[in-house]
Amino acid sequence: MLACRNLTVRPRLGAAPLVHGATACFPSGGLHALIGPSGCGKTTLLKGILDILPSEGEVSLHGRVLVSREELLREVAFAPQFSIAHAKLTVAEAVSCALRLYQKQDQSSLVARNAELLQLVGLSERGGTLVEKLSGGQLRRLGLALELTTDPTCLLCDEVTSGLDPRSEDQILAVLRALADQRAKTVVCVIHNLAKLAQFNTVTVVFEGAVVWQGPLAGMLAHFGIADALELYDRLSEQPRAHWQTRWAAVVADAQSAAPLASAALPVMAGRGGCERPSAPSQLRTLLARRWRLLVRDRGYLLLTLAITFGFPCLVVIFALGGLPQMKGLALESTGGFLETLQARAAYRQSSAETATLVSGLIIFQVILLSLMGSNNGAREIAAERALYEKERMSGLRPTAYAWSKLLYTALLGAAQGAWMTVFVKLLCEFPGGWGAQLAVLSATGASMSVVCLGLSAMLTSPDKASLLSIYLVGFQLPLSGVVLALPAALVWAVRPFIATYWGWAGYLMAMTDSRFYDAVVTLDKGWLAPPLAAVGVLGAHFLIGATLVFWGCQKKCWP
């Protein structure tokens, strides 16, 4: 039995309540309808019970008041209106991944459980179909299968039949009825089709954020004085909320707080509380395998990533080819005469200045392009699937495992792009300098910017806002890196630590100290340049800041 008493729900802390002191009780082992006009607070009530939205009041399960809602999530699952699953996974893969994330079991048990769930929701023949190819009704059935992977005792369904054709709606209701009758599960379903109420054991009516009736359909008709459930909303609108609350309170008092309704109708099955959750490393392996599969199947994202990974280094080479040969003529060769020597020196200084500008620009160009790659790697990675993550966390996904999976993916991708940029440009443009130092600097640049942008993604729920903020961050790097070189000495160190492009540029350049490239650049600027080790250290600090934002953002409850 799931119940709440005097539950007040708010959209956020300190805001006006959307549900006012609701008291409701859903008996064990039945199919229960939750109805009311649009915007009356039905979904809000369910989210308040689950603590998805801030709430005050008591929530009890099997007659025991819960001190923490975390206890509730061990036995109660929430099926949102629309199925939350990765579009590029097949139906069987989506269910299999959920099983691996939520329950510790061997391979044979997992395969058998997967087949059982697909059969239960009528998707056995669709196991190999991509989620994005499913119809609306099939998506709702997949959503039910995903929630049943944890074997909950109670299932809260948010409009899982809304917007479906009559046949699909009947199929969903048949699945829910089977769960209640054959699996002894408590199923609470928000539903708009009042013509289907006869299929439910009890009906709960919500009006303007208050529960104004609970009981069987026949009792509801008598209570509101209507002959058909379709007349209910017209009757509700005839009186203010306080009127219906008062009438319901009187009924509850006469029935001694609705004691008959609170009695359990059927025995309760053991839910997920008896199942062992997989370890964090096990969940991490599952998440990384899923991310790799999604990367390979999402051709648009994969092609974009490959295009910038291989195309951006080509841009550097294209800009370099016309100017780098000047370096070969930098050596001063005296022709013997005084006038000729002066002319040669003047030509040398002019050529050196031009080459210094070119070399410095090419290095900063590489760093900026790597920053853009980092934005592409991390900006949408978490924000774009925030609803899915929050749902998986409710079901048992560990935030640390999720955060580590995203960190490893983006950091390795960014580091690989930095390494490739180094190799490609050095080989084709003949940039001098130590391979190890330059690989370390550009790899650290790619990894740190990817993780910083990932941190922004973890803090926001909108992928568009996360992408825009990341682009702004990268866009400001180029002018700010120039400002660092031109600022008064007193202000340089107030700004320099935060400009990743400066450290990438300086560290790469300082790896060329034994070459004429370096000599040409320092003729323009005698300021302090960070050696490669210091540059990697500061970029590592940026990485840690981004990683901290990732873990912090993943720990926060942040439903879109």
Interval 11-28: pLDDT, tens: 887 788 899 889 999 998
Confidence of residue 129 (pLDDT cuts 50, 70, 90): very high
Q: Do 265 and 290 belong together in one domain?
A: no
Asked if residue 177 belongs to a domain, the reply is yes
SS3 (DSSP) at 188? strand
Asked if residue 560 belongs to a domain, the reply is no
Q: What are phi and psi of 8, to 5 degrees?
A: -115, 130
Q: What is the mean pLDDT of the chain?
A: 85
Which two tokens mark 90? 């097949």
Q: Do 448 and 488 belong together in one domain?
A: yes
Per the CB < 8 A criterion, the answer to whether 82 and 163 are in contact is: no
Dihedral angle over CA of 144, 146, 148, 153, nearest 10: -90
Q: What are phi and psi of 69, to 5 degrees?
A: -70, -15
Asked if residue 278 belongs to a domain, the reply is no
As for how many domains the chain has, the answer is 2
- The fraction of the chain above a pLDDT of 90, given in percent, is 58
Residues 64-85 as b or e (16 or more Cβ within 10 Å = b): eeeeebeebbbbbbbbbbbbbb
Q: Do 249 and 322 belong together in one domain?
A: no
Task: Report angle CA 35, 41, 43 to the nearest 5 degrees.
Answer: 75
Q: Do 236 and 335 belong together in one domain?
A: no
User: SS3 sequence, 345-406?
Assistant: HHHHHHHHHHHHHHHHHHHHHHHHHHHHHHHHHHCCCCHHHHHHHHHHHHHCCCHHHHHHHH
* Count of other CB atoms within 10 angstroms of residue 533: 12
Measuring CA to CA, which residue among 149, 232, 189 is closest to residue 32? 189
Which of 228, 249, 272 is the last residue before a domain boundary? 272
Which of 225, 240, 272 is the last residue before a domain boundary? 272
Whole-angstrom distance, CA of residue 203 vs CA of residue 34: 6
User: Can you give the pTM of this predicted structure?
Assistant: 0.88
Asked if residue 279 belongs to a domain, the reply is no
Q: What is the DSSP string of 497-522?
A: GG-HHHHHHHHHHHTTTTSHHHHHHH
Q: What is the DSSP string of 40-96?
A: SSHHHHHHHHTTSS-EEEEEEETTEE-SSHHHHTTTEEEE-SS----TTSBHHHHHH
CATH of the domain at 65: 3.40.50.300
pLDDT of residue 524: 61
- What pairs with residue 158 in β-bridges? 190
pLDDT of residue 343: 43
pLDDT of residue 204: 96
Q: Do 446 and 512 belong together in one domain?
A: yes
Asked if residue 448 belongs to a domain, the reply is yes
Residues 316-343 as b or e (16 or more Cβ within 10 Å = b): beeebeebbeebeeeeeeeeeeeeeeee
Q: What are phi and psi of 215, to 5 degrees?
A: 155, -170
Which of 240, 272, 304 is the last residue before a domain boundary? 272
* Count of other CB atoms within 10 angstroms of residue 276: 9
Q: Do 405 and 517 belong together in one domain?
A: yes
* Count of other CB atoms within 10 angstroms of residue 182: 9
Q: Do 303 and 428 belong together in one domain?
A: yes
Asked if residue 505 belongs to a domain, the reply is yes
- What pairs with residue 24 in β-bridges? 4
Full residue range of the structural domain in which residue 7 is found: 2-272
Q: Do 423 and 344 belong together in one domain?
A: yes
- What pairs with residue 206 in β-bridges? 211
Q: Do 168 and 79 belong together in one domain?
A: yes
Q: Do 254 and 342 belong together in one domain?
A: no
Q: Residue 240 above 90 pLDDT?
A: yes
Asked if residue 277 belongs to a domain, the reply is no
Cα radius of gyration rounded to whole Å, the chain: 32
Q: Can you tell me the mean pLDDT for 300-324?
A: 87
- For 254-310, write each residue's pLDDT tens digit: 764 444 444 333 333 344 444 678 999 999 999 999 999 999 999 999 999 999 999
pLDDT of residue 51: 87
Per the CB < 8 A criterion, the answer to whether 160 and 136 are in contact is: no
Q: Do 297 and 428 belong together in one domain?
A: yes
- For 43-83, write each residue's pLDDT tens digit: 999 999 998 888 899 999 888 888 777 778 878 999 987 76
Whole-angstrom distance, CA of residue 307 vs CA of residue 268: 55
Q: Residue 494 above 70 pLDDT?
A: yes
Q: Do 121 and 31 belong together in one domain?
A: yes
pLDDT of residue 98: 94
Asked if residue 509 belongs to a domain, the reply is yes
- For 157-212, write each residue's pLDDT tens digit: 998 888 888 898 999 999 999 999 988 899 999 999 999 999 999 999 999 999 99
Residues 154-165 as b or e (16 or more Cβ within 10 Å = b): bbbbbbbbeebe
